């Protein structure tokens, strides 16, 4: 399990420190996910008998929109490098109805793991692939003489063929061969030195025109994949000749040689193992599948989804095109605002499968100030970088940031609370005029202080009817 080994060895304290670079506050949620991720690593260190008994402690994050639930999961995925997918609970329906089958989330997780393993394996064979690609480039730039061409495509038998050819060659042909080999070495050195990057070569690429299967069959995603694979084998390849520079051709040939050197069966089995042991599925908007009291008849996108989700979270075996995948040790992180329902409204069996509950807090004015200044990719730094492209210097003063945070907090209190997303609307509204005029104002310095903010936002906030639509 070496594909994510280094990243998974991060301690909980290190994970929280990394998350702090991008997300303000919500320490309890950060600590919970950090411990859950570390437990994945700990489980890999115990003996096989105990490893089977240790199941992941799934987490449910509860809190209003815009406070960092999804961002924590997104940053966690980047940080750990483990197979990770984020899915919306609302896009699934009960099996047999039009919509996505809940089992497809496991198939997506395996695809993600496949990408991680393939990328890791490519790095191992890249050196050999580059060597082979260079050999092919030399052949393209200087094709072998006709008498020797028959052995140029061989691998293991090439040396024997060459010896046989040497015995058969006449003196003049032998001289030509020696001269040809010398020229090949010269070209090879020039390729390695990068002095032939702009030379043009002809490459024949093979593609298949695969017919698309139109219209999704409910609950039949795996059958559609099988049909697609069947068509890939039946439909003949079309050969296209393309003119590429040596630089472009090398990239194409390295990819081709990597694919030839990779062991597909080994990659697929490793991907399944990785998904089963280190996979993380983040289920967003889980509160939207709580059954409505007013609902009558079949509730296929709510209670039905909960019923289908239950066995996957509990642990079951799902069939994918790469093999069977067990979900017993996949970590599930669920998140929802629960502003119109409670976690207790979920099916009791499903509730029990999320033993760790974390409540994320509403953002205060002080949190907004920190969000605008502390993270590596804060909004103020983003807008500064954007205006720099137009040679306009944007400078945010502390009192201006304080005013922005105050407006964001007060508007969230008066209207719908959308958390940190309110900053996006206010910032865009405040800098709309500058963004429009920036190309005509190169070399200017714009200072965003409290007066600058008030001048552009105050009138808008006073007119509540207008602010409802704009902010």
What are the sequence ranges of the domains in the chain? 5-114+268-359, 132-264, 365-459
pLDDT digits (tens, 9 = 90+) for 16-26: 998 888 888 88
- Could you tell me which residues come within 8 angstroms of residue 13 by beta carbon, excluding any fewer than 6 positions away? 34
DSSP lists the bridge partners of residue 318 as: 325
pLDDT digits (tens, 9 = 90+) for 392-444: 999 999 999 999 999 888 888 887 788 888 888 889 888 988 999 999 988 99
83, 116 contact by CB (below 8 A): yes
**Comparing 40-44, 74-78, 294-298, 456-460, which segment has the lowest mean pLDDT?**
294-298
Calculate the alpha carbon distances from 312 to 106, 317, 354 in Å.
9, 8, 13
61, 29 contact by CB (below 8 A): yes
Confidence (pLDDT) at 239: 72
pLDDT digits (tens, 9 = 90+) for 357-405: 888 888 889 989 999 988 888 899 999 999 999 999 999 999 999 999 9
Confidence (pLDDT) at 150: 46
Return the H-helix or E-strand segment holding 208: strand 200-208
Name the architecture of domain 365-459. Orthogonal Bundle (1.10)
Return the H-helix or E-strand segment holding 335: strand 331-336
φ/ψ region of 317 (left if φ > 0, alpha if ψ in -120 to 50, else beta) reads: beta
CATH number of the structural domain 5-114+268-359: 3.40.50.300
Structure tokens at 163: 């010896």
317, 103 contact by CB (below 8 A): no
Which contacts (CB < 8 Å, 24+ apart) does range 287-292 have?
A: 287/336, 287/337, 287/338, 287/339, 287/340, 287/341, 287/343, 288/89, 288/90, 288/336, 289/89, 289/90, 289/92, 290/341, 290/345, 290/346, 291/345
Structure tokens at 359: 């409540």
Calculate mean pLDDT across residues 255-266.
88
**Comparing 129-133, 146-150, 282-286, which segment has the lowest mean pLDDT?**
146-150
Q: What is the DSSP string of 85-151?
A: EEEEGGGB--TTSSSB-TTHHHHHHHHHHHHHHHHHHHHHHHHHHHHHHHHHHHHHHSPPPTTTGGG
CA torsion sign, 412 to 415 to 418 to 422? Answer: negative
In the block, tokens 């597909």 appear at 264
Structure tokens at 207: 């593609």
**Comparing 68-72, 174-178, 408-412, 429-433, which segment has the lowest mean pLDDT?**
174-178
Please give the distance of CA 54 from its chain centroid, rounded to a whole number.
Answer: 28
**Does the pLDDT value for residue 169 go beyond 60?**
no
Please give the distance of CA 442 from its chain centroid, rounded to a whole number.
Answer: 37
């Amino acid at each position: 399990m070496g594909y994510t080994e280094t990243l998974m060895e991060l301690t909980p304290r290190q994970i929280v420190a990394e998350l702090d670079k991008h997300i303000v506050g919500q320490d309890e949620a950060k600590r919970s996910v950090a411990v859950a991720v570390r437990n994945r690593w700990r489980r890999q260190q115990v003996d096989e008998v105990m490893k089977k008994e240790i199941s992941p402690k799934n987490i449910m994050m509860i809190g209003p929109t815009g406070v960092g639930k999804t961002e924590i999961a997104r940053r966690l995925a980047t940080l750990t490098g483990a197979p990770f997918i984020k899915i919306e609970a609302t896009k699934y329906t009960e099996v047999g109805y039009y919509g996505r089958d809940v089992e497809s989330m496991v198939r997506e997780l395996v695809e993600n793991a496949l990408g991680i393993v393939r990328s890791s394996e490519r790095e191992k064979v890249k050196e050999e692939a580059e060597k082979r690609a260079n050999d092919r480039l030399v052949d393209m730039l200087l094709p072998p003489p006709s008498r020797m061409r028959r052995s140029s495509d061989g691998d293991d038998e090439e040396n024997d063929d060459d010896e046989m050819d040497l015995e058969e060659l006449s003196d003049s042909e032998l001289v030509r061969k020696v001269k040809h080999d010398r020229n090949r070495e010269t070209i090879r050195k020039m390729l390695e030195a990068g002095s032939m990057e702009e030379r043009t070569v002809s490459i024949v690429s093979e593609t298949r025109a695969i017919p698309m299967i139109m219209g999704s069959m409910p609950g039949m995603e795996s059958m559609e994949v099988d049909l697609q694979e069947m068509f890939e084998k039946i439909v003949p390849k079309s050969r296209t000749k393309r003119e590429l520079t040596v630089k472009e051709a090398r990239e194409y040939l390295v990819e081709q040689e990597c694919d030839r050197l990779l062991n597909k069966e080994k990659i697929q089995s490793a991907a399944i193992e990785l998904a089963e042991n280190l996979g993380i599925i983040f289920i967003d908007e889980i509160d939207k599948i709580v059954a409505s009291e007013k609902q009558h008849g079949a509730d296929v996108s709510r209670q039905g989804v909960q019923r289908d989700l239950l066995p996957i979270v509990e642990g079951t075996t799902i069939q994918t095109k790469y093999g069977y995948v067990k979900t017993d040790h996949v970590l599930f992180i669920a998140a929802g605002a629960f502003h119109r329902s409670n976690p207790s409204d979920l099916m009791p069996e499903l509730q029990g499968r999320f033993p760790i509950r974390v409540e994320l807090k509403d953002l205060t004015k002080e949190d907004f100030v920190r969000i605008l200044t502390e993270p590596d990719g804060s909004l103020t730094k983003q807008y500064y970088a954007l205006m720099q492209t137009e040679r306009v210097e944007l400078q945010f003063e502390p009192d201006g940031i304080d005013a922005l945070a105050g407006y964001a907090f007060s508007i969230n209190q008066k209207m719908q609370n959308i958390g940190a997303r309110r900053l996006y609307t206010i910032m865009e509204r405040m800098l709309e005029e500058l963004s429009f005029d920036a190309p005509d104002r190169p070399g200017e310095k714009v200072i965003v202080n409290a007066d600058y903010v008030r001048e552009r936002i105050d009138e808008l906030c006073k007119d509540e009817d207008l602010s409802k639509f704009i902010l």
